[in-house]
């Protein structure tokens, strides 16, 4: 430790010991945080149960191809991305009983597979069910 740092440390200890306060520079901490922050891309879509795209950013198409099954095409490459999905109520008009589930997976570099279901349904044909959903994709550089 060089003499300047020892002197500054000594002054800080003395100030604290007699009830004073010490101003600490956070410039170096902020620089460290900025160095670790990576640029990100966020893509999102809100989709109706019938596959209609209700709102989005970075999405080029939604295709419904079966009960509770959808593909979503996006603009950025999906490498290094976190995929998040949730079932929506669309203002309380979603008829599904009990619990619901969503699976979000990568099909290719620019396509997601979404599967929505109602596991608490009473028959096998209700497990896969058309449900409104939202998906968010967060990609690092």
What's the pTM? 0.67
6: pLDDT confidence band, cut at 50, 70 and 90? Answer: low
Give, in order, the Cα–Cα distances in Å from 82 to each of 20, 35, 99, 104. Answer: 47, 21, 24, 10
Per-residue confidence (pLDDT) for residue 66, from 0 to 100? 95
Cα 135–chain centre separation: 8
Residue 74, exposed/middle/buried by CB under 10 A (0-12, 13-18, 19+)? buried
H or E segment and range at residue 84: strand 81-87
Over residues 45-103, the pLDDT tens digits come to 999 999 999 999 999 999 999 999 999 999 888 988 999 999 887 666 655 556 678 88
- pLDDT above 50: residue 25: no
């Amino acid at each position: 430790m060089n003499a300047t740092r020892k002197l500054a440390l000594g002054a800080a200890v003395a100030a604290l010991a007699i009830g004073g306060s010490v101003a600490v520079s956070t410039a170096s901490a902020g620089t460290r945080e900025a160095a670790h922050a990576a640029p990100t891309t966020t893509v999102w879509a809100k989709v109706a149960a019938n596959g209609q795209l209700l709102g989005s950013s970075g999405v080029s198409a939604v295709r419904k191809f079966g009960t509770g099954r959808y593909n979503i095409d996006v603009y950025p490459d999906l490498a290094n991305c976190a995929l998040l999905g949730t079932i929506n109520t669309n203002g309380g008009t979603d008829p599904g009983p009990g619990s619901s589930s969503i699976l979000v997976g990568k099909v290719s570099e620019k396509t997601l597979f979404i599967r929505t279901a109602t596991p608490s349904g009473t028959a096998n044909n209700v497990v896969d069910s058309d449900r409104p959903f939202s998906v968010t994709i967060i990609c690092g550089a």
